């Protein structure tokens, strides 16, 4: 017994020493951010809810995608079982000190047929989750579509490929505003709209897994990479703007909420000082960000996109342009890493064209010497640079950092020092951006729990909490990063109380080492 206690103490001292090296020289705190600024964490319905076949829920395109073998047998049928464990999870949020929680509503749980009758059980679940959050002083930030369009609509008319989705999505959003809008002030229509269009319809590695046979990363049985991403993006913009106008017309005066769109953003930098690479970097920003943001700010797609895509690029009518322009209260930004950009003029000369060849760029990820393989570098965070680009290019719109976090192998360790390093560096970088005038209103770490990840199922993990999938109770265990984030949010500093190696038994240390 004495030997076990000595071993535990020794391990705790090692972790405390490492932690002190990581963040021992903190020169910022929660108090450096405005009181109105919110810190939170996030998830999405299919990634954590589970209960995929319970209480009237029907499959989404993500169910179909995962059950087709995208993750070698892994799926979201059970996931973290947040559907049943939401009260426990909200208590963990309280323990962590979260000020806000970002989650998504499963369209096919709330409206199983995609349109028509509301599922009472689905309505009850989301009301209960929202009420639980609000009762503990945690702001709910809700996404309406996080890669999970009802499969029934995909089967009926092709989902986002058809303009028919606009009216169905408006009706779905209307129900959400009506039922939840008295407690939810922050609404996001679509998560990572640019990644959804590219991953799902150009390269085929995300739901619904469509691409041309010789273009996609994975084997696709259907799709057209040359046209479909642009069609889907166009329909998403028309849908988003219609929902924005609906809220403004019908709910804004009484609910006083906000409607935004979420996109994924790398920081792009030229691979060399060559003029061609500098031009390619500007093209990368136009294609990846301007594709969605330019219509919302200026009423049309970037000129460079229209010139390069040509007749394959959908066009806005004058009325549609007026509808889309200005249809944004805030931008939701998901950012993780920096990519280097090379000019690739030969791609533009190919007979068959898709998004990548239209942009004529090559994206290069550089690991860096300090960062362990498989993790994102943190020594030169790029968030401030991305925010500066938005500020200078599109005006200083309100921005919420909806996702930012570190990836690690799922069953690595609870002593996730790389994630602590990453969060520390990026939140510091965010503060620098805000001090330079960026209009950022909130920050959400990705993710709260280790859930089903979009790109590889359960192989990688981003969570502050580890979820033991081999335990029938799906027990949650806090990682070192949870302790660091919690102490940051609570105004504490320096050392950490953490759990150590993942195992069947996990020991906890005391909080007595912390000082406010």
Say if CB 314 and CB 197 are below 8 A apart: no
Q: Say which of 132, 228, 375, 403 is annotated catalytic.
A: 403
Say if CB 358 and CB 345 are below 8 A apart: no
Tell me, yes or no, if 192 is annotated catalytic.
yes
Q: How far apart are CA 470 and CA 467, in angstroms?
A: 9
| Closest by Cα among 62, 83, 65 to 474 | 83
What are φ and ψ of residue 493, in 5° steps? Answer: -150, 180
Q: How far apart are CA 229 and CA 225, in angstroms?
A: 7
Beta strands in 51-205 (DSSP E): 100-104, 139-145, 186-190
Q: How far apart are CA 468 and CA 482, in angstroms?
A: 16
H or E element in which residue 330 lies: strand 330-334
Cis peptide before 363 (omega within 30 of 0): no
User: Quick one: 400 exposed, middle or buried, by C-beta within 10 A (0-12, 13-18, 19+)?
Assistant: buried
Alpha helices in 181-227 (DSSP H): 193-201
Say which residue the tokens 């323990």 belong to: 95
Cα 40 from chain centre: 13
Specify the length of the chain in residues: 516
Query: CA neighbours within 13 Å on the CB side: how many for 261?
Result: 28
Q: How far apart are CA 350 and CA 346, in angstroms?
A: 7
| Closest by Cα among 119, 92, 98, 95 to 107 | 119
Q: Say which of 192, 228, 320, 453 is annotated catalytic.
A: 192
- Secondary structure class of 183 (helix, strand, coil): coil
What are φ and ψ of residue 282, in 5° steps? Answer: -65, -35
C-alpha to C-alpha distances, 470 to 297, 407, 474, 482, 499, nearest whole angstrom: 48, 21, 7, 21, 18
Q: How far apart are CA 464 and CA 486, in angstroms?
A: 10
- Secondary structure class of 268 (helix, strand, coil): strand
| Closest by Cα among 143, 134, 160, 132 to 107 | 143
Say which residue the tokens 């190919």 belong to: 350
Say if CB 403 and CB 444 are below 8 A apart: yes
User: Quick one: 164 exposed, middle or buried, by C-beta within 10 A (0-12, 13-18, 19+)?
Assistant: middle
As separate numbers, helices (DSSP H) first and strands (DSSP E) second, the chain gives 19, 15
Q: How far apart are CA 434 and CA 399, in angstroms?
A: 11
What the block records as the tokens of 464 is 């502050």
Catalytic residues: 192, 403
């Amino acid at each position: 017994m004495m030997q076990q206690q000595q071993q535990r103490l020794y391990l705790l001292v090692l972790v405390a020493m490492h932690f002190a090296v990581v963040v021992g020289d903190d020169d910022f705190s929660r108090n450096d951010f405005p009181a109105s600024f919110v810190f939170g964490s996030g998830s999405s319905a299919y990634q954590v809810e589970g209960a995929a076949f319970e209480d009237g829920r029907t499959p989404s395109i993500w169910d179909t995608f995962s059950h087709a073998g995208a993750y070698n047998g892994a799926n979201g049928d059970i996931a973290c079982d947040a559907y049943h464990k939401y009260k426990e999870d909200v208590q963990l949020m309280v323990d962590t000190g979260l000020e806000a929680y970002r989650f998504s509503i499963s369209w096919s749980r709330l409206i199983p047929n995609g349109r028509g009758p509301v599922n009472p059980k689905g309505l009850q679940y989301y009301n209960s989750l929202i009420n639980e959050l609000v009762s503990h002083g945690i702001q709910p930030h809700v996404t309406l579509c996080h890669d999970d369009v009802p499969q029934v609509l995909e089967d009926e008319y092709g989902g986002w490929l058809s303009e028919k989705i606009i009216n169905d999505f408006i009706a779905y959003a209307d129900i959400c505003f009506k039922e939840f809008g008295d407690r939810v002030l922050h609404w996001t229509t679509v998560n990572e709209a640019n990644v959804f269009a590219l991953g799902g319809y150009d390269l085929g590695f995300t739901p619904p897994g469509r691409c041309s046979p010789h273009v996609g990363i994975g084997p696709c049985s259907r799709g057209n990479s040359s046209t479909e991403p642009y069609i889907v993006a166009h329909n998403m913009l028309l849908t988003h703007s219609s929902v924005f106008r609906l809220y403004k017309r019908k709910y804004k005066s009484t609910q006083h909420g906000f409607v935004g769109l979420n996109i994924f953003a790398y920081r792009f930098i030229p691979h060399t000082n060559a003029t061609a690479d500098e031009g390619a970097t500007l093209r990368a920003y136009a294609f990846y960000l301007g594709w969605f943001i330019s219509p919302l700010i200026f009423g049309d797609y970037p000129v460079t996109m229209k010139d390069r895509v040509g007749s394959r690029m959908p066009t806005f009518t004058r009325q549609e342009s007026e509808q889309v322009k200005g249809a944004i209260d805030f931008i939701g930004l998901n950012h993780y890493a920096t990519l280097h950009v090379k000019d690739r003029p030969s791609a533009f000369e190919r007979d068959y064209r898709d998004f990548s060849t239209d942009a004529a760029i090559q994206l290069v990820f550089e690991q860096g010497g300090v960062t362990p393989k498989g993790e994102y570098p943190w020594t030169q965070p790029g968030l401030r640079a991305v925010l500066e680009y938005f500020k200078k290019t599109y005006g200083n719109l309100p921005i919420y950092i909806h996702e930012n976090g570190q990836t690690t192998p799922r069953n690595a360790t609870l002593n996730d020092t790389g994630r602590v390093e990453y969060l520390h560096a990026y939140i510091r970088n965010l503060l620098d951006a805000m001090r330079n005038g960026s209009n950022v209103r909130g920050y959400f770490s990705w993710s709260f729990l280790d859930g089903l990840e979009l790109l590889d199922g359960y192989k990688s993990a981003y969570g502050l909490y580890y979820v033991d999938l081999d335990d029938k109770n799906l027990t949650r265990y806090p990682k070192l990063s949870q302790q660091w984030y919690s102490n940051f949010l609570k105004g504490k500093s320096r050392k950490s109380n953490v759990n150590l190696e993942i195992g069947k038994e996990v020991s906890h240390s005391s909080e007595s080492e912390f000082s406010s």
